[in-house]
Amino acid sequence: MFRKKRAKQKPDATAKQLMGIVGEENVLYLKGDLLSYECDGYTLERGIPRAVVFVRNTQHVSDVVKQLNELEIPYIARGAGTGLSGGATPRGGEVIISLVRMKRLLDLDLENRQAVVEPGYINLKLTQSISDKGYYYAPDPSSQYACTIGGNVAENSGGAHCLKYGVTTNHILGLEVVLPSGEIIEIGNSGVPDQPGYDLLGILTGSEGTLGIVTKITVNILKNPEGKKTGLAYFDDIDDASQAVSDIIATGIIPAALEMMDEIAIEGVEASAYPVGHPSDIAAFLLIEVDGIQEGIDDQIEDILTVCKSNHVRDVKVAKDEAERSMWWANRKMGFGAMGAISPDYLVQDGVIPRTRLPEVLAHISAISRKYELRIANIFHAGDGNLHPLILFDASVPGESDRASKAGSECLQVCADVGGSITGEHGVGIEKSAEMRFIFTDEEMAAQTDIRHVFNPDDLLNPGKLFPEPGRCVEVKRDEKKVSV
């Protein structure tokens, strides 16, 4: 009965035109189908798209974009939809261009340490497909089993190992991009680290789908390190853990990862599918990994644990084998999701601060928690100064969602006030465009929105993201005559 009712809904003129380009089977237009696309991993704002079109190749993307330009219909590129700031969330009425069916590994050149993938190729699959040959792809967001490399490029995704190995932008060698004009351009070049001219590779990477649609990606792949050592350090006082982080960095050793969790976060992961038996009464732990050539890494992890000992650590241990190491990492990577085990709802925030300001910022976050009467767990890529306050709330209690949202924004204000940033790796998206004001002046914002206007003059590509819009929160004014092209 329900099926029959749905079957009656006819594609509108737009959907039909899109079908003309990509084929009937590659366009969704039924209301029920569209509901799955009303948000990404950030669920506090939602909108229903007009249609979803699954492109199969670059020409499809170009043709669809040109068609939508003609119709003046806005559009959004989407990968796996694991983003955490609403970068792929419609405001309502946009066409979603889904890249998930462009998912091939196009080329693998081990000699030059490069791979070419389509944007819908899943992050983890790349490492899986080359690990037997001794290689891996470095950026490892916690969602790497699901997220696409195209999405990683859009968000300039990081991960636990970006302290040593950098974020996505440090691993992208070239892009094929469909511009909002429908033109197809190549940026970057095989085997050449730095191209002349302006760094378009850098500006496209992390542009959150507002400058172009990436259709091909050349990435750098790395040789597996010869050895790895992973340690845990338990602290009774989170300030001691914070000081240990600064002291570790000061030794000159760059750990492959240096992660921290506070007691509420630990409560969560211990209640998750991957408990490891962390003590329940500690204030924080550090999860530390070093890698590199075999000689020396035992000394490195020992040196780091010695630094922990000089900061009143309660206990330290080193993973005895790969199984234990994997368990520790599975537990850590459950971090966000694990909050579901101890709270009906949670809001992930993503701020960055100078590492040395950690104790002070934690005290502020504690005060915010008391002010809004909401528990806040803290998970950090501590080595990078990237904190993820997880604000726990119950959306069914009137007013709690709103309080959570305000508490999140205040956490970001604290980060901005100490000279930090409002996002480390999750992006600005639809969620934090107003908070861009915390860190940018009018002139600084204008320098950026001017760039968007050049690439995306009619603002049809992913409108309403990344920057505050006229009428939304703060108006970005710009004398149009002044910037002539």
Query: Under rule CB under 8 A, which residues in 89-148 are in contact with its own copies?
Result: 111-113, 134
- Stretch of 2-10, 123-131, 179-187, 317-325 contacting its own copies, by CB under 8 A: 179-187
- Tell me which of 43, 57, 220, 421 binds its own copies, using CB under 8 A: 421
Cα–Cα distance measured from residue 129 to residue 253, given in angstroms and rounded to the nearest whole number: 30
Buried b / exposed e over 214-243, threshold 16 CB at 10 Å, is bbbbbbbbeeebeebbbbbbbbebbbbbbb
Q: Minimum CB separation from its own copies for residue 252, in Å? A: 3
In this chain, which of 14, 207, 311, 349 binds its own copies, going by CB under 8 A? Answer: 207
The verdict on 11 binding its own copies (CB under 8 A) reads no
For 257, the token pair is: 């990862």
Query: How far is 137 from 71, CA to CA, in rounded Å?
Result: 40
CB burial of residue 398 (10 Å; 0-12, 13-18, 19+)? exposed
Phi, psi for residue 273 in degrees, rounded to 5: -70, -15
Report strand pairing: 184-188 vs 172-178.
Answer: antiparallel
Site residues (CB under 8 A) for its own copies, limited to 63-92: none
Among 107, 281, 299, 475, binds its own copies (CB under 8 A): 299
Window contacting its own copies (CB under 8 A); options: 15-23, 60-68, 224-232, 387-395: 224-232
Residue among 230 and 369 whose Cβ is closer to its own copies: 230
* Span 267-286, contacts to its own copies by CB under 8 A: none
| 24 vs 444 by CB, closer to its own copies | 444
- Of 273, 363, 397, 483, the residue at the interface with its own copies (CB under 8 A) is 483
For the chain, the farthest-separated pair of C-alpha atoms sits apart, in whole angstroms, at 71
| 248 lies in the binding site for its own copies (CB under 8 A) | no
354 contributes a contact to its own copies by CB under 8 A? yes
Q: Tokens in use for 166?
A: 């950098």
> What beta strand segments (E) does 224-355 contain?
227-235, 257-262, 284-292, 313-318, 345-348, 351-352
385 touches its own copies by CB under 8 A? yes
User: In angstroms, what is the minimal distance from the CB of 328 to its own copies?
Assistant: 24
Rounded to the nearest whole angstrom, what is the least distance from the CB of residue 161 to its own copies in the complex? 14
The nearest distance, CB 52 to its own copies, in angstroms, is 27
* Strand order, beta sheet including 27-28: 27-28, 51-54, 95-98, 75-78
Helix 358-372 and helix 400-417: axis angle, to 10°? 160
Which window, 5-13, 28-36, 354-362, 388-396, contacts its own copies (CB under 8 A)?
Answer: 354-362
Q: Is 380 in the site for its own copies (CB under 8 A)?
A: no
Is 311 a binding residue for its own copies by CB under 8 A? The answer is no
Q: Is 35 helix (H, G, I), strand (E, B) or coil?
A: helix
HSE-up of residue 424 (Cα within 13 Å, Cβ side): 29
Which of 155, 160, 159 is closest to 79 using CA atoms?
Answer: 155
> Which run of H or E residues covers position 117?
strand 114-117
Nearer to its own copies, 46 or 453 (CB): 453
Candidate segments 317-325, 340-348, 387-395, 422-430, binder of its own copies by CB under 8 A = 422-430
CB of 134 to its own copies, least distance (A): 8
Supply angle C-alpha 327, 330, 331, rounded to 5: 85
Nearest approach, Cβ of residue 67 and its own copies (Å): 17
**Residue 295 binding its own copies, by CB under 8 A:** yes
For its own copies, the binding residues in 442-481 under the rule CB under 8 A are: 443-444, 447-448, 450-455, 457, 466-467, 478, 480
The interface with its own copies within residues 313-332 (CB under 8 A) comprises none
Q: Is residue 156 part of the contact set for its own copies (CB under 8 A)? A: yes
Quick check: 23 binds its own copies (CB under 8 A)? no
**Contact (Cβ atoms closer than 8 angstroms) between residue 42 and residue 431:** yes
Binding status of residue 211 toward its own copies by CB under 8 A: yes
Nearest Cα to Cα of residue 26 among 49, 3, 55? 55
> By CB under 8 A, what part of segment 24-53 binds its own copies?
none
Query: Nearest Cα to 261, choosing from 320, 339, 325?
Result: 339
Looking at 198, 280, 323, 370, which residue binds its own copies (CB under 8 A)? 198
Number of H helices, E strands in the chain: 16, 19
In whole angstroms, the minimum distance from the beta carbon of 155 to its own copies comes to 10
